[in-house]
Every structure is written in structure tokens, then in C-alpha cells.
Structure 1
Amino acid sequence: MSLSRPLVTVVRAGRHSYAAGLQLQQHLAKSSQKLDVPAEFRNYLVLQEHDPVYTIGVRTKDYTAADEERLRRLGADFHRTDRGGLITFHGPGQLVAYPILHLRQFNGGMRWYVATLERMVIETCRQLGLPNATTTQDTGIWVGDRKICAIGVHGSRYVTSHGIGLNCCTDMAWFEHIVPCGIEGKGVTSLSLELGRQVSIQEASTAFLSSFAKVFECRLGEQAEAIMQDLN
């Protein structure tokens, strides 16, 4: 692979709370914006799994304090975020990936980024044996009328944050308490349900990284321990 391709450092953050993941994301996004940081160290790809949490994006205005309390009583956390998109769920069995990329290194803008992110998730599903995952007029990646991957991103000073939640072996019951992403009359699904076998986050991560390097035309490196120690 050409050394001229951007380098993206993979951070395997493991399972933690949404708040901890947000702190890590903000730390890396600030690092990516610093001009005194060499360009090759300004791109990150955080792979993680969250404790149960419902999150809403900047366009969600109709979730009240009562709604928040109702969802918290289920045993999940609740967060309002600055990403795009409406309400969704993150939790065990879901691969959450936050690409923190300096788009100037990729010669693309936010529209290019979202379209490339969609193609990358579709390629991930294809590698895992699911060829019919696709985009529709609604946000995210779909299998028929069931969403398999939520997408909600944010961009500031050419740096991306937030990202995707790909259902691997997620408990679908969590989604029954909301209208996922505000889309009425449609459902959710997972890789395990569609493929008829257990698909772990570890298996999905392998395909995800392969697809990411291919579709974003970048090099991947790993430096998770040093980054996590620096954050702590």
C-alpha cells in the first residue's frame, strides 16, 4: 500500500460508558485539530462497545425530561449529543466506530465523507456474507425495511467525530422503546439475525477494518495503549 495514503490510527477502546467514549472522542478530535501535531498522527478510528445508552442528535427536540426518565428506568443511560440524526440506541453487541479524520488529508468534504462511510459499511456487510445491505432515502444502512447500522456524524474545522453503530449481536428489545432514528413503520435488525448465526463484535471488527482501509484508501496503524494512557 502506498505510503502517500493517509495513516489512520486504530484505537480499540473496549466496552465502556457513553460518557467515557465521548471524552476519548473529544480528546482525539482536539488532537487532530492541533497544527503542531504531525499530519500522520491526526487521524483516528475508535472501535468500542457501549454500556446501554439512548442518544439523541441535534435535530431531536421532542424528547422531554419525562421521556428521558422513562428510558433511564429501563437500565440505560441517556445523552443529548451534537451529532446529526435522531434518537438511537447503543449497547452490548453493537460495534460503535468513531472515525476522527482530518478531511483535508482525504481531499473530501462532509458529503463525500458520509457517502464514503456508507459505502464502507455496505462493504463490511458484504465481507461478512450479507450482500443486500444498502442505502435508502432514510439515513443509515438497511436490509429491506430494517436498519442494520445507524449513522450520525459531526464535523468541525475539517475534523469528523461521532460515526456509526453496527448491530452485530445486539438485543433488539432495547429498540422497542423508541422510534429508531425517528423513522415510523420500519424496524431494526442485526448481522446475527440476517445471517442466522452469531456474529461477534470481534468478527465484525476484522471485516470493518479491512473495508475501512479499502474504501477510504488509507493505511491503518495501532497505538491504542499510548493513547489511552495519555488520556488517563
Structure 2
Amino acid sequence: MTILKGIRDETAKEDIMRLQQLGAEFRKTNRGGLITFHGPGQLVAYPIINLKNFKTSVRWYVDRLEETVIRICDELGIHANRSPDTGVWVEDNKIAAIGIHASRYVTTHGISLNCDNDLTWFKHIDPCGIKDKGVTSLTNETGVICTTNNMMPIFLKHFEQVFDCKTEEFDTDLQKKILDGLYNKIMIDAM
């Protein structure tokens, strides 16, 4: 589970304790949005992008992330759309959540796409603060197991098309160095 700190941190201590008793771990972050769940079977992508190289608009960036997921869903035969509630939806069920942070037009955090994850955790929270709506996954919608390993090449293909860019894969040591540095910065900013 992730929650964000500050004014919008509306998660009550009793709720946190209840979820911890169920086995949830919490991380406070500085991203936009309210409480959500991240777990195995979710494709979580946190692109680090300097929007000055694209368009200096956070709304544009969120729209592009949503478009990436909509194209993935379309390729799989799923009719998905945007909503005023942010994220990507299949009817009244959220299939992808977006929570970002941008500082000087450099983005952190990003998107989580439900591929083949355990959706029961969402029953214990109001995902992203949204009540009375459901959550779904690519596996639920297609009837075929959609692992993150299967979906990653499809995600990268559509991400590169939507953002008109080329992604790069870093070796494991460099990835760890970058992610450790970002994690430490994010955790310090969230305090």
C-alpha cells in the first residue's frame, strides 16, 4: 500500500493498523493521489522524464500515460477509456492507476497497470480515494493470464509510440544505483 503525506493524507491510523494486521506494508510517498495498492502481478512503471524535452504540461503527461494503457487494452480487445477520476477504466472498473510527482518538469512515480494481480486488496481500501467503483485486471477482462513479463514488451512498444521516444534498458547495477538514489530522495521529500 502506498499513501501520500501531507494535506491529502486522509488515511486514518485505524485503517492503517487494520490493513497492517492483514499483512499490508506501507510506504509514504510524495506522488499525487491517495491510498493505493501495489503488488505482484501489477506492471508498475515510474518513467523519469524531463517534460521540457516533450511538453511542459503535467496534464499532458498524465494524458499520455493514460493513452499508453488505452492502446495496450485496445490491442488485447478491451474497450478502455479515461474518466474524470483519472486513470484508465473499463466501464466502472479501474484497470490502471496514475500517481505522479513532477519537480521542475522532471517526473517521478507513474502508473500501475493491473495485469494478473490479486485484486482482493482493493476491497480493503477506497483506491485512490474513489468509492463505489470497482477494479479489474487484464486477466479478468481477457480471460487469459496476462503476466507482467508478457505485458512489458507491449507496454514499452505503446509507450515509445505515444511519447515518440526510445526507451533504454540499463544494466542491473546501474538500475539499482539509480533506483536507490531516487528512493532515498523520494523518502526524504516525503518526510
Q: TM-score range by the shorter chain?
A: 0.7 to 0.9
SS state at 2:97 partner? strand
Bigger helix share: 2
Q: Decide which of 207, 213, 217 is 2:154's aligned counterpart.
A: 207
Q: Would the aligned equivalents of 2:44 and 2:111 in 1 still touch at CA under 8 Å?
A: yes
Residues of 2 paired with 1:193 and 1:60: CA distance?
31
* 1:106 match: 54
1:104-146 CA-partner distances (Å, limit 9, x unpaired): 111332121111111111112222332x111011111000000
Partner letter of residue 60 of structure 1? R
Matched residue count? 178
Partner letter of residue 116 of structure 1? R
* 2:189 match: none
Kindly indicate whether residue 107 of structure 2 is the aligned counterpart of residue 160 of structure 1.
Answer: yes
Partner letter of residue 169 of structure 1? D
TM-score by length of 2: 0.87
* CA RMSD between the two structures: 1.6
- Give the deviation of 1:61 after TM superposition: 2.9
SS state at 1:160 partner? strand
Residues of 2 paired with 1:230 and 1:81: CA distance?
19
* 1:95 match: 43
* 2:71 match: 123
TM-score by length of 1: 0.72
* 2:31 match: 83
Partner letter of residue 84 of structure 1? G
- Give the deviation of 1:222 after TM superposition: 1.5
SS state at 1:119 partner? helix
Bigger strand share: 1
- Per mean C-alpha deviation after superposition, the further-off stretch among 79-88 and 189-198 is 79-88
1:17-50 CA-partner distances (Å, limit 9, x unpaired): xxxxxxxxxxxxxxxxxxxxxxxxxxxxxxxxxx
Percent of residue pairs identical? 50
Q: Would the aligned equivalents of 2:56 and 2:105 in 1 still touch at CA under 8 Å?
A: no
Q: Would the aligned equivalents of 1:128 and 1:204 in 2 still touch at CA under 8 Å?
A: no
1:124-163 correspondence to structure 2 within 5 Å: 124-130=72-78, 132-163=79-110
SS state at 2:47 partner? strand
Residues of 2 paired with 1:102 and 1:228: CA distance?
18
SS state at 1:219 partner? coil
